[in-house]
């Protein structure tokens, strides 16, 4: 668990405690962790999050929902079952979640499941494949966060996931510039299906 001490003045400080298994996937824009606890809320505030991607089918904890409401953070929920069955990991849910991650309007974004190991690891692994990481590096990162609990079924899922699912979508996305500095991510086709959300705050 990461602990950061921020000093306010000469003697006083605020202790910021990160969620379990927390790490930056991409600095200042994409993060991963286990399920945040109330003690982690001050740390999450320091990230200035716009969005959270929650990968469990269970309802989001009410105290977490209240934190999101207060801080104007969007919740994208993709209910992926946490069992060891090979069929539990949903390619379609992973693809929809990747659409959220690759839309810069949702950054900074935190990805998490319960422990930040298997479902989160598979989603991040598929993102790495989209970033053209070699398979051995993808699996090494997955195992680093899963520890001794890593699953052969997850590794097989990562090996078989077809990144053309998301690349096909990204081909229809363009950047349009407004003025000299403003940039916004837009869909070329207005009818393009938006990422599925069970909860948006």
Question: For this structure, is 169 an active site residue?
Answer: no
Q: Is 125 helix (H, G, I), strand (E, B) or coil?
A: helix
Burial (CB count within 10 angstroms: exposed 0-12, middle 13-18, buried 19+), residue 70: exposed
- Give the number of C-alpha atoms closer than 13 A to the C-alpha of residue 25, restricted to the C-beta side: 27
Q: 62: which DSSP letter?
A: H
Question: Does an H or E element contain 69, and which?
Answer: helix 62-71
Point out the catalytic residue in the list 113, 122, 126, 169.
Answer: 113
Could you give the C-alpha distances from 55 to 58, 93, 132, 180, 200, in angstroms and in order? 9, 9, 23, 38, 14
As annotated, the active-site residues are: 113
């Amino acid at each position: 668990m990461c602990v950061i001490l921020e000093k306010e003045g000469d003697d006083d400080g605020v202790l910021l405690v990160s969620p379990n298994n927390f790490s930056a996937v991409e600095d200042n824009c994409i993060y991963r962790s286990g399920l945040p606890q109330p003690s982690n809320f001050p740390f999450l505030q320091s990230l200035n999050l716009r969005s959270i991607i929650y990968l469990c089918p269970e309802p989001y904890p009410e105290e977490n929902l209240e934190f999101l409401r207060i801080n104007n953070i969007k919740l994208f929920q993709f209910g992926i079952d946490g069992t060891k069955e090979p069929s539990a990991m949903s390619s379609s849910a992973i693809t929809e979640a990747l659409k959220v991650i690759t839309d810069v309007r949702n950054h900074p974004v935190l990805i998490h499941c319960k422990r930040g190991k298997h479902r989160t690891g598979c989603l991040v692994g598929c993102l790495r494949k989209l970033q053209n990481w070699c398979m051995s590096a993808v699996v090494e990162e997955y195992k680093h966060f899963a520890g001794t609990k890593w699953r052969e079924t997850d590794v097989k899922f990562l090996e078989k996931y077809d990144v053309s699912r998301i690349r096909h979508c990204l081909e229809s996305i363009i950047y349009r510039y407004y003025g000299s500095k403003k940039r916004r991510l837009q869909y070329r086709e207005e009818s393009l299906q938006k990422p599925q959300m069970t909860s948006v705050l």
